[in-house]
Structure 1
Amino acid sequence: MTRAALHARLEHGLAALGLALPGQAVERLLDYQALLERWNGTYNLTAVRDPEGMVTRHLLDSLAILPYVRGATLADLGTGPGLPGIPLAIAAPGREVVLVDSNGKKVRFLREAIRALQLEGVRAVQSRVEEVEGRFDCITARAFASLGDMLGWGGHLLAPEGIWLAMKGKPADEELPGIPPGFELRARHALEVPGLDAERHLLVLGHVPASGAVTAA
């Protein structure tokens, strides 16, 4: 598929999602896809091989959660080759983004992507999630682990008023009892990813408000 055809597919998908991105964002997203495709041949970073599939399963799938992202700082845990962190950073620049993965070859790719795409405010950290330090307004995790494991390993990274965006295929009802004390499910959204014939759900979690505190609507 040509670059022009990929561009048209991405633009069509963004329109279906109701997203208007800043100037040059579409081209930068396709630059990221091309870089991922090139590195994937050697490093096996993703099971998705074809460019059309990458646009749908990686770019549009990541950007489907953009309306729910908030705050000045974001940590993407178990980011792999930068999903959803890099597409989110391109689509909404100006936020501090930390991409976390324990796999060395994936972090090498992330650092090259950050350099090549000139992603300001974005950095890659090779680490186990439980060893990462800091507090973040928003945390994303895409098919990374169960809700219980996600929050057990990385709950310390969520700022007091922050939100955790867990991307899932199925609704994950069976995982809800495993949510650790101190955290709660705030909302669940069924996502429609253009061109993707598969279930996608976003679970929004946060800290249980302290006694007497008022949760924002």
Structure 2
Amino acid sequence: MLAQGLAEMNLPLDVAQQSKLLAYVALLQKWNKTYSLTAIREPERMVTHHLLDSLAPLKYLPEGALRMVDVGSGFGTPGIPFAIARPDWQLTLLDSNHKKTTFLRQAILELQLPNVSIITGRVEAVEPEAKFDVITSRAFADLGDFIRWTEHLLADGGEWAALKGVYPHEEVAGLPASVYVDHIDALQVPGLDAERHLVHIRKQG
């Protein structure tokens, strides 16, 4: 199912990367029994709803090495699938929930992901050593709040890349005047009968 979905999305990942993605699902399933990290319990649905749904935006994101922060990462989506698919990226996964970041630390250890770091805390209080080229989130907050809470984290020339379900007309209309929507990509996720959009936002000027 994973291999077929990747082929449909024209996303060539090697056998080792696909194995890591499936190992992540297995680990999530194991921890879920105790910690209830996700409402989805079947590994097949985790492949579509967590792996393929997270990987669908990849071809709409910048090529080459970059620094990215996944805000409100939860159990690691899209951050961990991104880190497996793009080993040249430096990923920071940020969440205020200790239970979830404990899982994330175990996941990066077991999956051997040296390009990932974890921060436990509220995004507004985070002071990174270096700012980020891309700030992403998946179902984290209203776009306006997302921008306001994370504006201090964005590097010059960087962008927000927010994963949303249906086209967020009202949220776009409520964005602060300091930013603008560069463009919005409609995403197709194999096996998922739901709307998905990637909203690219940049600072004015």
Aligned pairs, how many? 201
What is the identity, as a one-letter code, of the residue corresponding to 1:193?
V
- The offset of 1:207, in angstroms, is 1.0
Q: 2:21 maps to what in 1?
A: 29
Displaced runs of 4 or more, over 3 A: none
What is the identity, as a one-letter code, of the residue corresponding to 2:159?
I
Q: 1:21·1:92 contact (CA, 8 Å) conserved in 2? A: no
2:59 counterpart of 1:67: yes
Q: 2:185 maps to what in 1?
A: 189
Q: 2:168 maps to what in 1?
A: 172
Q: 1:22·1:91 contact (CA, 8 Å) conserved in 2? A: no
1:46 alignment partner, SS class = coil
- The offset of 1:132, in angstroms, is 1.3
2:33 counterpart of 1:41: yes
Which structure has the larger Rg? 1
TM-score of the aligned structures, taking structure 1 as reference length: 0.90
The one-character-per-residue Cα deviations of 1:56-96 (angstroms, maximum 9, x if unpaired) are: 00000000011123351000000000000000000010211
Gaps of 5+ in 2: none
What is the identity, as a one-letter code, of the residue corresponding to 1:105?
K
> In percent, how many aligned pairs have the same letter?
51
- The offset of 1:23, in angstroms, is 4.5
Q: 1:39·1:45 contact (CA, 8 Å) conserved in 2? A: yes
- The offset of 1:163, in angstroms, is 1.4
TM-score of the aligned structures, taking structure 2 as reference length: 0.95
Q: 2:97·2:120 contact (CA, 8 Å) conserved in 1? A: yes
- Name the CA distance, whole Å, in 1 between partners of 2:152 and 2:180: 14
- Name the CA distance, whole Å, in 2 between partners of 1:183 and 1:204: 10
CA RMSD of aligned residues (A): 1.0
Q: 1:202 maps to what in 2?
A: 198
